[in-house]
A = this chain, B = another copy of it.
């Protein structure tokens, strides 16, 4: 099938599919006219990668998952390990974002948001107010 059809089926942009070929995630063969020809196995891999990406796995991790997937002698422990590490990284990111969120929400709430210039958000970012007086001699 053509790249257009593969894109429709997998929900991936054609550009992304070409990119995945470039980095050797898939290797569709070519017709006489130079057009890519995607097998069902190709589109299946693409869909696999698309799902893994949507779970936040990096392309490198997707590659590893794909090769585990294609390895009949894999140990599920390896897959679990990979997913477990990814899960921990997600937890870290969530924690970071929640910390930002707390600070920001507090600042936004405390800002009057009117026509006047004084603003706790900028105060917080400036932090050491006292030390800042426009352009001290340098």
Residues of A that sit less than 8 Å from B by CB: 1, 37-41, 44, 47-48, 51-52, 54-56, 65, 68-69, 71-77, 79-81, 83-84, 86-87, 90-91, 93-94, 97-98, 100-101, 103-105, 107-108, 111-119, 121-122, 124-128, 131-132, 134-138
The answer, among B39, B51, B74, B121, for a CB contact under 8 Å with A79, is B121
Copies per complex? Answer: 2
Are A138 and B37 closer than 8 Å at their CB atoms? yes
Classify the secondary structure of A's interface with B. helix
Are B114 and A77 closer than 8 Å at their CB atoms? yes
Are A69 and B104 closer than 8 Å at their CB atoms? no
Using CB atoms, name the residue of chain B closest to A54. Answer: B100
